[in-house]
Amino acid sequence: MMTPSELAPRLFIAMVVIVAFCWVVAWLLGKVGQPAVVSEMLAGVLLGPSLLGLVLPDVQNALFPAQMRPVLYVLGQIGLVLFMFTAGYEFASHRPPKIVGTAGIVSLSGILAPLALGVLLVVVVRNHVPVFADGVSTGVSAAFVGVALAITAFPMLARIVTERGHAGTPHGSLALASGAIDDVVAWILLAFVLATASGEFGPALRTVAGALAFALVLWFFGRRFMTTLMERTRFDPRRRVIAVLLVLFAVAWYTDEIGLYAVFGAFCVGLVLPQREESADLVAVVAPLGNGLFLPLFFTYSGLQTKFGLLGDPAVLLFALACVVLAVVGKFGACWLAARLSGQSPLVSARVGALMNARGLMQLIALNVGLEAGIVSDKMFTALVLVALVTTLMTVPALTLIDRLEARRTRATVILPGTELSPSAG
């Protein structure tokens, strides 16, 4: 039995190891153009039983003893809440361009196709593959897998688009608008799955009623309340930070209490934070500690739950690979097809598909929510973490490949000006 005073220094050194290891992986993967969030997801998995626990089990136990896990979880949740808050704020700052028609079709296709494929997969393999949690109905399992495959990591998509300076381009605008719609719809779907997962009428009703009340309060008073809070604390920026965090934690607690999980509430508080310079200053104080220090602890906790060794079972491996293929076909394929049918060029459609396909942190959050709710077994968790990793890892290489294709085609047209260029003369 470890006393709290023995636990605290252990946590200090564990935090140092986790964050430093994230940096090393980010530095290595940064050389091939991968964004930091990909590296942190991977670092968490590598610190878990999938690598460190396999190679150096004693080191893993010394670094993350059993009694530290709850603390890691709680600190990771603080990181998640802070992250979702900044994600909500940034989400609201990207005013989606007025291309709602095409974006609606793209995102709807990008949700319905993987959702349908995921449900179909579960229905087909339900009695053949041992990846399902005990006591969870086929309907709930199918809905969860479908929603998990349908998620798009809007924060990551937005970061890649803005970092590449593509926010104003046709594919950038379309991806931002589609990703935003997808994000909101997928989270609402996940909330429905969670609300109905218990199979009882009471909890589901409580969640729906609580969510409705929350949505009404948010819609009518949310922004006004946050604006007042920001103005009341304008002479004391330190107190302002803490005041906003208290609101954030209180809302996170409420949305968790009604069965919606803390991340929903945190995202909504970010949404209604007024878009002003002082809000940006506040986010700039919260983000480094949240994203830099506490979020890696969430990745590590999540990684400690991920057992890639379970993929040694051929049935589980096949299921995981099927999930990956269906996720890519359903999301990338459907978005690409929808964009093409809406009259977008092949390159724009391919880029939108590649961006929408990244599931990143958002899917990882959904998976952990499912694990907590008892909907997901550790085998299914591992299979879906593989989906999150692969679809996130492939985003930047896919975009680079499309860039190269475009460059080659442009060069081809430049080299042969007489044959292909000057269409006006043709």
Tokens for 184, please give them.
Answer: 């909101």
Say if CB 180 and CB 105 are below 8 A apart: no
Instruction: Give the 3-state secondary structure of residue 376.
Output: strand
Tokens for 267, please give them.
Answer: 């995202």
Tokens for 28, please give them.
Answer: 């290595």
Binding segment for a copy of itself (CB under 8 A), chosen from 118-126, 183-191, 253-261, 268-276, is: 253-261
Instruction: Give the 3-state secondary structure of residue 136.
Output: coil
Q: How far is the CB of 135 from a copy of itself (least distance, A)?
A: 17
Binding segment for a copy of itself (CB under 8 A), chosen from 4-12, 163-171, 204-212, 333-341, is: 4-12
The partner residues of 132 in beta bridges, in order of sequence, read 376
The partner residues of 376 in beta bridges, in order of sequence, read 132
Nearer to a copy of itself, 279 or 391 (CB): 279
9 scored as a contact of a copy of itself (CB under 8 A): yes
293 scored as a contact of a copy of itself (CB under 8 A): yes
Distances (CA, A) of 29 to 19, 33, 315, 316, 384: 15, 7, 31, 28, 22
239 scored as a contact of a copy of itself (CB under 8 A): yes
How far is it, in rounded angstroms, from Cα 172 to Cα 352? 7
Binding segment for a copy of itself (CB under 8 A), chosen from 241-249, 335-343, 348-356, 406-414, is: 241-249
Binding segment for a copy of itself (CB under 8 A), chosen from 38-46, 83-91, 137-145, 248-256, is: 248-256
Q: How far is the CB of 244 from a copy of itself (least distance, A)?
A: 11
Nearer to a copy of itself, 65 or 96 (CB): 65
Instruction: Give the 3-state secondary structure of residue 144.
Output: helix
How far is it, in rounded angstroms, from Cα 92 to Cα 270? 8
Applying the rule CB under 8 A, the residues between 69 and 98 that interact with a copy of itself are 69-71, 73-75, 77, 81
Residues that bind a copy of itself (CB under 8 A): 3-5, 7-13, 15-16, 19-20, 67, 69-71, 73-75, 77, 81, 237-239, 241-242, 245-246, 249-250, 252-253, 256-257, 262, 285-289, 291-293, 372
